[in-house]
Structure 1
Amino acid sequence: MKQIFIHLLPVFFLFGFGSKSLGCKDIKVKKDNSINAFAFTEYTKRDSVIKKSFDTVKNSSMKEKLKERISKGEVLKGAVIDIAHPTFIEVVCAAGADFLFLDFEHGLHDYNDIGQAIRTAELSNVSTLVRLGERSSNLTVRMLDAGATGILFPHVETAEEAAEFVSWCRYKPLGIRGSGFARASISYSGNEYERRQQASKDVVCIMIVESLKGKENLAKILAVEGVSGVFISQGSISMELGLSDWKDPKVVKVLDEMATVVKSFPNSAFLRLSLTPDEAVKNVASGANMILLTHDWQLIKGMYSGLFNDITNKLNQAAKK
């Protein structure tokens, strides 16, 4: 009996002295050194209630899912991220971004860069979409396992391609995504099977259409079950037309025709790159519900160029006086 008492001393110390602060009954030791069974049962019950309450708070504190916001008719604002440093991600999120377009197709990013960007955005409750640079089911899964909200698949031209890409993003029976454990499941308090089925429903699968062939098949691509929406790449389309000016009437005509098709699919995500606020307003009027600022380095370069030019002009004016 003495040995049992010695082993239980830490329990008495931890719960006996701290129980009042938790609102449960004191755990008392009888003269025969046994535990007051009723008090211990009461503590166990209340501990269970506290844990359930914590889980409820944890789950309810998560930001509304991206798909839900789109279906409710919100117009979301995002930015193309090339500078995937955590501090810069924090800055963009704090500035008011609803989502981030993490570019893993261009530039010299590695897996760690994208992983840190996803984690940092997650801390700010900002959704992340990763544009892949290659057609790889494994790469798709790894980005989702890292916690990405969804995937942007480039150069999609047919419904068959879109269907295959969607299958990479979803678990069985809806897709072929592998069932390995990863950080994407850390904050989920339910069982793993339920998490995977919910993940299949929540994942955002955006098809980037950037060719005239893709334009011709746009309606079929959007009709694929599981396709969340499309991003029209005016840069690639203008190049295919042999034009450099996105405002050229020929380019505008193609983009307007594509926008009309997308509008016929309600609740679909429709991303448009907007270089100015006026262009954003125009794109929203054409049906876009996810407005994307241009690449971060272009914005930063433009900002510094403007400031340096203004300073130079002011200095020159002052020197003439």
Structure 2
Amino acid sequence: MSAPKNMFKQALIKGEQQIGCWMSFAESVTAEIMGTAGFDWLVIDGEHAPNDIRSIRDQLTALASSASHPVVRVPVGETWLIKMVLDAGAQTVLVPVVESAAQAQDLVRGCRYPPDGVRGVGAAASRATMYGSTSDYIQTADQEICLLLQVETRAGVAALDDILQVEGVDGVFIGPADLSTDMGYKGNSAAPEVRAVIADALARIKAAGKAPGILATNDEARQAYLDMGAQFLAVGIDVMLLAQAARALAGQWKPS
């Protein structure tokens, strides 16, 4: 039995638009709820949400029967962390703050088994192989892993063309909040100067044959990024969705 087909990766290769959402609750029950919403992909956020390897595993399990593909964002691009989330069953990994081709090459190697990479060969007892029942996992896993890199600093943008030449990088995700702050705009990703850099970066990613991605949390930004050519777009964050809906409901019905 081979590793499961990564349909999200296949969609990116085909150029299909993929609409997703961020998950920051770090809870399996909310992941399961989000999995019923109809998104193409969902991010299990290990960088800014209170996740550990157990909660990541539990959310992967909660999404196993969902049509929404789980993307795990690791907190940093360390080989040992990537190995852990892959062994937990992740097939798509998002790595923040990538700023060089050399870093990108190291991340590709971290996702692959020897001799092409350095991923530890110990998945037989893990969820990735369904505890040994996926007999040909080691032989077939590499081709189903999807590696997405976040470019979100001026240094990353400067190195973008080199990063895009690295074989094994499937997509590049622009981090608008970090990029705008690094550019001196303190999170204002709508600043014209920031928008210009984002538009140029998305175009360069697409021209290089990689999938361009980004996150937006309001309709104006969502449409702007789609118009710029974003292929995989996250259109919200679960915590923000709950907070906004709850506050609106309270404001509508609570006596003033």
Q: TM-score, normalised by structure 1?
A: 0.73
Contact 1:262/1:287 (8 A) holds in 2: no
State the secondary structure of the residue aligned to 2:117: coil
Q: Which amino acid aligns with 1:306?
A: A
Deviation at 1:184? 0.8
Contact 2:60/2:70 (8 A) holds in 1: yes
Distance 1:118 1:270 in 2: 24
Asked if 1:254 corresponds to 2:186, the answer is: no
Instruction: Name which of 296, 300, 313 aligns with 2:242.
Output: 300
Q: Which amino acid aligns with 1:222?
A: L
Q: Structure 1 residues 205, 63: CA separation in 2 closer, same or farther (over 3 Å shift)? A: closer
Work out the percentage of aligned pairs sharing the same amino acid: 29
Instruction: Name which of 14, 38, 42 aligns with 1:96.
Output: 38
Instruction: Name which of 189, 197, 201 aligns with 2:139.
Output: 197
Distance 1:240 1:281 in 2: 24
Residue in 2 that maps onto 1:40: none
Asked if 1:209 corresponds to 2:151, the answer is: yes
Distance 1:271 1:187 in 2: 33
Residue in 1 that maps onto 2:127: 183
CA offset digits 1:45-93 (Å, max 9, x no partner)? xxxxxxxxxx8xxx8xx67621111122221111111112222112111
Deviation at 1:221? 0.6
Deviation at 1:278? 4.4
Asked if 1:87 corresponds to 2:29, the answer is: yes
Q: Which amino acid aligns with 2:232?
A: M
Contact 1:174/1:200 (8 A) holds in 2: no
Residue in 2 that maps onto 1:48: none
Q: Which amino acid aligns with 1:215?
A: V
Residue in 2 that maps onto 1:135: 77
Q: CA RMSD in A?
A: 2.0
Deviation at 1:132? 1.3
Deviation at 1:188? 8.2
Distance 2:30 2:147 in 1: 25
Q: What are the equivalent positions in structure 2 for 1:227-242 lying under 5 Å apart?
A: 227-242=169-184
Deviation at 1:309? 1.1
CA offset digits 1:76-111 (Å, max 9, x no partner)? 111111112222112111110211111111232222
Distance 2:103 2:241 in 1: 33
Contact 1:238/1:246 (8 A) holds in 2: yes
Distance 1:152 1:75 in 2: 18
Q: Which amino acid aligns with 2:196?
A: K
Deviation at 1:190? 6.0
Residue in 2 that maps onto 1:118: 60
Distance 2:73 2:6 in 1: 22
Q: Which amino acid aligns with 1:307?
A: L
State the secondary structure of the residue aligned to 1:123: coil
Higher helix share: 1
Residue in 2 that maps onto 1:264: 207
Contact 2:6/2:145 (8 A) holds in 1: no
Distance 2:91 2:75 in 1: 17
Residue in 2 that maps onto 1:290: 232
Q: Which amino acid aligns with 2:61?
A: R
Distance 1:149 1:269 in 2: 16
Distance 2:67 2:141 in 1: 17
Gaps of 5+ in 1: 1-54, 317-321
Q: Structure 1 residues 163, 87: CA separation in 2 closer, same or farther (over 3 Å shift)? A: same
State the secondary structure of the residue aligned to 2:43: strand
Q: TM-score, normalised by structure 2?
A: 0.91
Distance 1:126 1:197 in 2: 25
Q: Structure 1 residues 64, 215: CA separation in 2 closer, same or farther (over 3 Å shift)? A: closer
Distance 2:131 2:40 in 1: 20
Q: Structure 1 residues 174, 252: CA separation in 2 closer, same or farther (over 3 Å shift)? A: same
Contact 2:152/2:176 (8 A) holds in 1: yes
Gaps of 5+ in 2: none
